[in-house]
Homo-oligomer: A and B are copies of this chain.
Amino acid sequence: MKENKIHTFSENRERLDKLVMKYAGINTKRIFSIDSKSYDDGAIPAKVKELIGLIASFVLRCDDCVTYHLIQCKKYEITGEELEEALEIGLLIGGSVTIPHLRRAYEVWESLKNN
């Protein structure tokens, strides 16, 4: 996934979030609002929350969620070593069925690093 792929990912995400909001009722809006607040700094630092969100998304095998959290991890300056140890736990817990997602996660990461 090259830089423009990540750009396309983010643009598409934004475009579709607008579409969701066009239809969304109050409860859907609330869940989106909680979603953006749950990763704020607190007793657990935001950076660690992103790692938790990343690995929870990874074991649930959601590529879009993983891409999103990787972008956030990059913003919080998570290192390659930290990422590797976190994904290692994800691979261990989630098993070899997560390997295709591991490949795609590193492809995204490689692209983020090169920008």
A contact set with B: CB distance below 8 Å: 13, 16-17, 19-20, 22-25, 27-28, 30-32, 34-35, 37-39, 42-44, 48-49, 51-53, 55-62, 64-65, 79-100, 102-104, 106-107, 109-110
CA distance A37 to B25 in the complex (A): 12
- Kindly list chain B residues whose C-beta atoms are within 8 Å of the C-beta of A80: 23
Across chains A and B, which 6 residue pairs bring their CB atoms closest together, nearest first?
Answer: A95-B95, A16-B103, A43-B81, A64-B100, A94-B95, A56-B59
Copies in the complex: 6
Identify whether the interface residues of A are mostly helix, strand, loop, or mixed. Answer: helix
- Kindly list chain B residues whose C-beta atoms are within 8 Å of the C-beta of A98: 95
What are 25 pairs between A and B in contact, CB < 8 Å?
A16-B103, A16-B104, A20-B103, A24-B84, A25-B84, A27-B38, A31-B91, A31-B96, A38-B89, A42-B85, A43-B79, A43-B84, A52-B89, A53-B93, A56-B89, A59-B60, A60-B97, A61-B62, A62-B97, A62-B100, A65-B99, A93-B95, A95-B96, A95-B97, A95-B98
Q: Distance in Å from the Cβ of A36 to the closest Cβ of chain B? A: 10
